[in-house]
Structure 1
Amino acid sequence: MAAAQSAMAQAVNVLDPGSLLSTFGALGVAVVLFAETGLLVGFFLPGDSLLFTAGLLCVGGGRGGVHLSLPQVLPAAVAGALLGAQTGYWIGRRGGRALLARSRARKLHEGAERAEELLARYGHAKAVVLARFVPVVRTVLNPLAGALDVPVRVFTVWQVVGGLVWTVGLVLGGYALGSSIPNVDHYLLPLVALIVIASLTPLVLEARRARARRASSSEASS
């Protein structure tokens, strides 16, 4: 039994949505989203592509015979995303900045900068919703909101709104595409690649804008 569990653990690729879903099913969706949105160590997990792929695999005839149930995937995704964000917030209230300072992950610190910029530019409500759609930022903003004493009610209401739109939207988007294109699972890898690129685009654009602002500020001060 131990050998079988060890072999399964080695076979699962946590960065591959298809591998995660074929091994853990809807439960894997909940666990991954909880870790990505609630724990700083989960910043590298593939939330966007996992949700979209889960929707595709709910259609039937999925890759490698994998088939998920939409009535199971949707509540699992919502529960993982909402509980994760709320957990991240409470971690932040109890020392989120100290945890972030101890991390050596460059992407995590870059995500923290983007999260602070979102909070400063858009205000608490809009920033909490927008962060759901930006990888790494959606991991860091929740504890950061707690550390910055964003009111509990404001954070809870808007993280629920953002979490529902993000999870349900991506799952149903994948389901709709799978329902309209026969054998769409044959194109799963390129579709996942497109989702990853699309999800990273806001982060790249925001990073470029931040560098441009810093450059213009340094020129103005010199």
Structure 2
Amino acid sequence: MLHLLQVALHFDQWLALFLQEYGAWVYLGLFLILFAETGLVIMPILPGDSMLFVCGTLAGAGHMSLAILIPLLVSAAVLGDALNYSLGRRFGPHLFSGRWRLQPGHLAKTEAFYRKHGGKAIIIGRFLPIIRTFVPFVAGIARLPWARFTSFNVVGAVLWIVGLLFAGFFLGRLPWVKAYLTPFLLLIILISLFPAFLAWFQNRRQTTG
């Protein structure tokens, strides 16, 4: 975990080094990282937000191309969520039967929640580390209609990818951001994790209260 945090905080240095060593192959690596973070429920701690911001800063410096990054990474995010949804739809119900023995009532609550708030959960979840890896999986368990899931999947992916790439593209040109990029990346991570921490804290208070 500590090593992954170090990679996330110094992703600009790692990425610049890989660009020098491997050139255009780095784009494939970025695609695979984002696809794994969004598509595999066991990989929720990959550096998605910091990676996108750093890619934007390098694009702003002329070392990468937004024309390649945007369609490539949007595709990775959309396909990753689609895979995660399919895995949840196929294997998720087994969590409520057999030796797993999760309460069936939880499944009913999950299905009711996604019928009412599924679209918002998919879009907002894109901006929440760790949570974004589980949202499509749970949507599959809840059997959210495929067409509805796909529409919000695409919208959420475009907003997330384009938003962070352009944030890095423009903010990365500011001298103080360049000088303090590592603390700035840490701030991005903390801000993105705050809503999840707040939800956990409120849920804990309700449980213990």
The answer on 1:211 being equivalent to 2:204 is yes
Distance in 2, matches of 1:117 and 1:49, equals: 32
Match in the other structure for 2:122:
128
Distance in 2, matches of 1:121 and 1:147, equals: 12
Q: CA deviation at 1:141?
A: 1.2
Q: 1:177 to 1:117 in 2, by over 3 A?
A: farther
Q: CA deviation at 1:33?
A: 1.2
Does the 8 Å contact 2:126/2:157 carry over to 1? yes
Distance in 1, matches of 2:96 and 2:161, equals: 26
Equivalent in 145, 149, 153 of residue 147 of structure 2: 153
Identity %: 39
Match in the other structure for 1:60:
61
TM-score, L = length of structure 2: 0.78
Q: Deviations for 1:17-38, whole angstroms, at most 9, x for unmatched residues?
A: 3355332633232211111111
The answer on 1:50 being equivalent to 2:51 is yes
Q: 1:156 to 1:36 in 2, by over 3 A?
A: same
Q: CA deviation at 1:164?
A: 0.7
The correspondence of residues 174-193 of structure 1 with structure 2, limited to 5 A, is 174-179=168-173, 181-182=174-175, 184-193=177-186
Q: 1:14 to 1:159 in 2, by over 3 A?
A: same
Q: 1:14 to 1:147 in 2, by over 3 A?
A: farther
Q: Deviations for 1:149-169, whole angstroms, at most 9, x for unmatched residues?
A: 111111111111111101100
> Secondary structure at the residue paired with 1:41?
coil
The answer on 1:91 being equivalent to 2:82 is no
> Secondary structure at the residue paired with 1:58?
helix
The answer on 1:143 being equivalent to 2:149 is no
Match in the other structure for 2:195:
202
Q: 1:40 to 1:97 in 2, by over 3 A?
A: farther
Q: 1:19 to 1:88 in 2, by over 3 A?
A: farther
Q: Deviations for 1:52-73, whole angstroms, at most 9, x for unmatched residues?
A: 1110111117xxxxx2222121
Match in the other structure for 1:219:
none
The farther-off stretch of 23-32 and 67-76 is 23-32
> Secondary structure at the residue paired with 2:60?
coil
Give unmatched runs, 5+ long, in structure 1: 1-12, 62-66, 102-115, 217-222
Distance in 2, matches of 1:47 and 1:84, equals: 12
Match in the other structure for 2:40:
39
Task: Supply the RMSD in Å over aligned alpha carbons.
Answer: 2.9
Does the 8 Å contact 1:97/1:144 carry over to 2? no
> Secondary structure at the residue paired with 2:42?
helix
Distance in 1, matches of 2:164 and 2:41, equals: 23
Give unmatched runs, 5+ long, in structure 2: 1-5, 19-24, 98-109
> Secondary structure at the residue paired with 2:127?
coil
Distance in 2, matches of 1:82 and 1:75, equals: 10
The number of equivalent residue pairs is 186
Q: CA deviation at 1:100?
A: 11
Q: Deviations for 1:156-197, whole angstroms, at most 9, x for unmatched residues?
A: 111111111011001101101123x14743322111111111
The farther-off stretch of 91-100 and 42-51 is 91-100
The correspondence of residues 14-33 of structure 1 with structure 2, limited to 5 A, is 15=8, 16-18=10-12, 21-22=15-16, 23=18, 25-33=26-34
The answer on 1:79 being equivalent to 2:75 is yes
Q: 1:123 to 1:152 in 2, by over 3 A?
A: same
TM-score, L = length of structure 1: 0.74
